[in-house]
Amino acid sequence: MKAIGPRTALSGFTLVELLAVLAIIGTLIGLLLPAVQRVREASRRMQCSNNLKQMGVALANYERAKKRFPPGNDQAGERYHAWSSFVLPFLEQSTVSDGIDYSKHWDDVGGNSAIADQMIPTYVCPSGIKSFAGKQDYAGVLGSSINRNGEQLAIVNGRDLQFLTSGVLYATGTTLYAPGTVPSQQPRLPASAAQVSDGLSKTLLVTEGVDREQVGAADTRRAGDAGWACGSNCCSLNARVINMPGENDNGFRSLHLGGIYGLFGDGHVTFISESIDAPSLIAICTKSGGETESAGL
């Protein structure tokens, strides 16, 4: 009779060991995900900042060539072309700008409409969520429509456009209001660098205005302020804080945690914290307000 030797032990995980390994893996994933998200957001922030820097170079080169900054919103003849359309040749987008008929409405069906549907990568913030034809995530700064107390500026003694031309990239043309409703306005020319008496380094040109899709609009881009080709993508400061839902729907908002990026007249780009005080925020939106605040920006 053959003798039976000792039984060989089987190797493998017990249920308890398997659960322990899974728990460790879950913990590591939980620790790594926030880190990965932070790295991705850091990359998105860098790209957003670079987008604005490119716009800064384009605006500076435009100003050197034309001796004035482009109009934020060219309202002459009710054409409504945008600052972001005029600087295209200085963004290496001459092919796009060459196809635009600036003598016609920005959305003219004869050709401008199709061009306005094109995507310009520099004008899209990587942190944005929404996507649609001709999207623009950055807004030219008209100025400030509030005073230091947060009160909305209104039409007073015919000076209805004073606050809408307090920035650098303001609306040119004549009046924003229907003829006969306010005293007549003289034609407004684009601003020159010399008119920025507060200093280019202390004056905002462009700010983030991410995902400005208008709820309920049948066509988001043609709603105006969300398209790079339309002059309505300018904005005036209308609240004492930034990133405030319902208050800054036309601009001064981002999906970056804690603030927005802004391009200043001298070309530098700065992250503007949500904690910035109202006087400083108003000061950097105006080109010749005589304010001394700049919040270190």
**Residue 3 within any structural domain of the chain:** no
**Residue 168 within any structural domain of the chain:** yes
| Sequence-distant (≥ 6) Cβ neighbours of residue 102 within 8 angstroms | 74, 79, 81, 85
> What one-character DSSP code corresponds to residue 286?
-
**Residue 35 within any structural domain of the chain:** no
**Residue 95 within any structural domain of the chain:** yes
| Sequence-distant (≥ 6) Cβ neighbours of residue 201 within 8 angstroms | 264, 265, 266, 268
**Residue 295 within any structural domain of the chain:** no
Number of domains in the chain: 1
- Best CA proximity match to 254, nearest among 125, 79, 109: 125
Token pair listed for 29: 């994933």
- Strand 138-144: give its sheet, edge to edge: 234-237, 138-144, 204-208, 259-264, 269-273
d(C-alpha 200, C-alpha 141), whole Å:
13
**Residue 141 within any structural domain of the chain:** yes
3-state DSSP assignment of residue 37: helix
Instruction: Calculate the alpha carbon distances from 132 to 41, 71, 82, 230, 294 in Å.
Output: 22, 25, 18, 14, 35
Token pair listed for 62: 């435009």
Q: What domain range includes position 136?
A: 47-285
Q: What is the CA radius of gyration of the chain?
A: 26
pLDDT of residue 161: 57
d(C-alpha 19, C-alpha 27), whole Å:
12
Helix (H) or strand (E) holding 145: none
Token pair listed for 161: 């456009």
**Residue 7 within any structural domain of the chain:** no
Would you list the DSSP string of 58-115? Answer: HHHHHHHHHSSPPPSEE-GGG--EEHHHHTGGGGT-HHHHTT--TTS-TT-TTTHHHH
d(C-alpha 142, C-alpha 155), whole Å:
16
**Residue 37 within any structural domain of the chain:** no
Q: pLDDT per position in the chain (297 positions), as tens?
A: 555 555 555 556 677 777 777 777 777 777 666 655 666 777 889 999 999 999 999 999 999 999 999 999 998 778 899 999 999 999 999 999 999 999 999 989 888 999 999 999 999 999 988 888 889 999 999 888 877 766 666 655 445 556 667 899 988 876 555 555 554 555 678 899 999 999 999 999 999 998 876 554 445 455 556 789 998 888 888 888 888 766 555 678 898 989 999 999 999 999 999 989 888 998 999 898 877 666 566
